[in-house]
Each structure stands twice: as C-alpha cells, then as structure tokens.
Homo-oligomer: A and B are copies of this chain.
Amino acid sequence: MIAEIIAIGSEMLTPHRQDTNSLYLTQGLNDLGVSVAFKTIVGDNRQHLVDAIRIALGRADILICSGGLGPTEDDLTRECTAEALGLELHTDPTTLLTLQQRFVARRMAMPSNNAKQAELLDGATLLPNPNGSAPGQMLDTTVESHRKIVVLLPGPPKELKPLFDEAVKPRLADTLPPRAMAKRLLRMALIPESQVDARTAPIYQKFTDVETTILAGSGEIQLHFICTKPTLEEAQARVDAVTELVEHEMGDDIFSSHGESLEEIVILMLGLHNQTLSVAESCTGGLLSERLTRVPNSSRSFYGGVVVYTNGVKTALTHVPVELIEKHGAVSEEVARALAEGVRVAAGTTLGMSITGIAGPTLMGGADAGKPVGLVYVGLADGEDTQVKQVQIPGDRERVRLWATQHAFELLRRRLQ
C-alpha cells in the first residue's frame, strides 16, 4: 500500500510558507506500515486541484488531502475531490445545524457560503472536528477496479493532528493488515557523517529488514532504525540487534541511545552525579543557557549563568581581571579559564562552564585583532582543576554559535561519563 499526500493552499507555493502537515501524516502512516511515495503541493485553483487528485488516484492506494475545507470561495477541496472521483456532494444536516449553532452562539447570521462546510462526498464517513468548523471526511471506494481510500482533512495543524490521530488512524488500522513497527534513534555530536557511515554501514547493511537512515545537521548525526514485522517482539528484536552492534562500534561517541537531545543527556548526567552547573557565555550570547533550560525541570541541576557580551561585564559579573583581558584578549584560553572559574564561584555551583570566541562577522580591534572568525575556547571548572579546549569552527555566525554549544556540551558529557 502506498500513499500520496496533497497539501492544498496557494500560500504554500510562496517562498514564505511550507507544508509541514505532511511530516506528521507521514509518521502516522509509517506507524501503520504505509509508505508515502508522493507529496504534491497545489494552489487554490480548481483545474490544478482536480488534475492533482486524479493523478494521485492513479498512482496511490491512499490519498490524504490537507487544507481547502474552509468556507471561502478559495476552499475547493470538497468540490474538486467530488469532480475527480465522479461523485456528488450532499449536505449533512447534523453538520449544517452545528455550523448554524456556532453563529447563533455569537449572535451572527451565518453567511450562505459557510453551508458548504457541511457538504459530504456521497458514501464518505464524516469525521467531526472538535477544534474547528470544517469536519474531515473519509471515503473507501473503488476507482477502475482498484480500492482507494481518500481522506480530506482541514489544514490548520491543531485541527488536522487530533483528527488524524483519533479518527483516521484507527479506521486505517482496522482496514490494513496488522503491522508492528519498532524504532530506535542513536545520536552523535561533532563527528563527520562520512566517518559514521564508514564505521556503521558494514553493520547495518547486513540487517536488510531494518531500514536505516543517517541524518546530519545542526552539529549532530542521527541514526534512525526502523523495522516492521507482524509482531512487535519480532520487530523490536531486530532493531535491538542492530543498535547493539552499532553502539559497540561507536562507543561513547553516541550521546543518546533512545533519541534524547544532547541538553537532556547533560541535565540527566548532572543529576546522576549530583553536580550543579552555571555557565558564562560570550559569543554564544545565551544560547547555551537557553538550550539547557529547554529541558523541563532543568533548574535542579542548572542554576543559571551570565552572558558577558562586553569586557566590562566579564569583569563586573564574573570578576575576570581587567589586566588578564588586556594581556591575552577576551578570546583566549586564559579568559575562558577565568570565566569558568568566576561563574562557578559567583553562582555557587559545583561546575562552571564558559564559552568565549569569535562568531563573526567582525571588525574587532585591540587584543583580539588577527584572531580568526570561528576561533572558540570552551572552559570547564570543577573547583580543583579547569580544562580549556580550543576549537576552530567553520561557517557563518549562526553555525559558529551552535557548534560552540555542541563543543561545550560534549566536553561536559565526556567529563561526567
């Protein structure tokens, strides 16, 4: 069984907005053992939409359309699906009443256009939408002697997602052969994709029944493993077998063996080791703190920190001596060391971390003149010893800032491990 997803709306054909519903729908379809073979994005144009639906009916078993179910003249999904299938629409009286009651409750007259939201494809099942005015619909039909399942869903994600999960998925599961899917996600930081692939391909290629995907981006490598079998036990056993071998090969380069983010792992390990953390950031400007505090309840282990974006503040908030900055420059091993030690004492934590570097673009003078964009020092102080790591990060301002925090987290994780 293969599926096609059609996202409907002219705004998704502009440079500003993208279809994202299809990622969610794909996940849900994959859970049921259904692959998505095509995605189409089409505007609010009657002929374009009818053609796109006809093409999808010709090449996919399951067609999910999102968007175009509103009350305006631009909302054409119902009419165009009916035309493509050669079916009629009829008004569902209960839905019409519900729509009218919405307007009565607001003491407004319902514009006649809105009645079209109560129109249902002949033979379709109505999927009531508790989060909006446009209900979904689902049709199990035959086109040229092939079975086709057609689903129409509203475009807003907060309407589409619950409707798909609660109304569509269970109905699809009832009609499709039972499949169970097991998944694992291993994550690694600061290691080239080519190296991960060279070391792991000889392992995962032997597991032809496990689908392996390597994704690289944002300073990390993700290894996704998916296996589908008649029972969950069988699927899980295969995924566990391949991940065990890959984990053995990659060792502690793997920071997460069940999909946790690097900041979640760091917060977890701080808690396990009864350590508390504060941070002093210069070029990352708060990103390190912001990432740590994305984790709910991180305040048990992360107390806070300082953003020391100017030299005066480095001295005022973390007591870095003026002379030290003048002598070595703000971006130096010595200042990284003083920042980590200074924030640790100021915040009263067991560990202090620091980042100082040149994120660029820059026209710096003074002591940091001549230092290259991307030069970053990461410091870690524990009260007895302070470790400083120097790295050179290629790329633009945003990339340097992100990778600097990856280096800081990895330094901390490996220390705690």
Contacts and interface: CB of A to CB of B under 8 A. Distances in A.
Interface of A: 11-18, 20, 23-24, 26-27, 30, 35-43, 45, 48, 51-52, 55, 59, 213, 215, 222, 224, 278-279, 281, 283-290, 292-294, 296, 298-299, 302-310, 312-313, 316-317, 346-348, 360-361, 397-398
B303 A309 contact: yes
A351 to B, nearest CB: 14
The oligomer's copy count stands at: 2
A298 B309 contact: yes
A267 to B, nearest CB: 11
Nearest to A280: B304
B303 A289 contact: no
A155 to B, nearest CB: 13
Contacts of A13: 26, 35-39
A262 B132 CA distance: 31
Nearest to A302: B309
A289 B304 contact: no
Given A16-B222, A286-B293, A306-B307, 15 more contacts: A12-B39, A13-B39, A14-B213, A15-B23, A16-B23, A38-B41, A285-B294, A286-B288, A298-B309, A302-B309, A304-B306, A304-B313, A304-B317, A307-B307, A313-B347
A383 B59 CA distance: 69
A222 B294 CA distance: 27
21 contacts: A14-B213, A15-B24, A15-B27, A15-B30, A37-B45, A39-B41, A40-B40, A279-B307, A281-B289, A285-B289, A285-B294, A285-B298, A286-B288, A286-B290, A286-B305, A290-B290, A298-B309, A299-B309, A304-B310, A304-B317, A313-B348
A346 B361 contact: no
A250 B192 CA distance: 50
B285 A287 contact: no
Contacts of A312: 303, 347-348
Contacts of A397: 294, 296
A286 to B, nearest CB: 3
B278 A313 contact: yes
B40 A38 contact: yes
Contacts of A313: 278, 303-304, 347-348
A317 B347 contact: yes
Given A292-B285, A317-B347, A37 B43 contact: yes
Contacts of A296: 360-361, 397
A14 to B, nearest CB: 6
Contacts of A306: 304-307, 317
Contacts of A298: 285, 309
A285 to B, nearest CB: 3
B308 A213 contact: no
A305 B307 contact: yes
A76 B355 CA distance: 45
A286 B215 CA distance: 28
Contacts of A23: 15-16, 18
A134 to B, nearest CB: 17
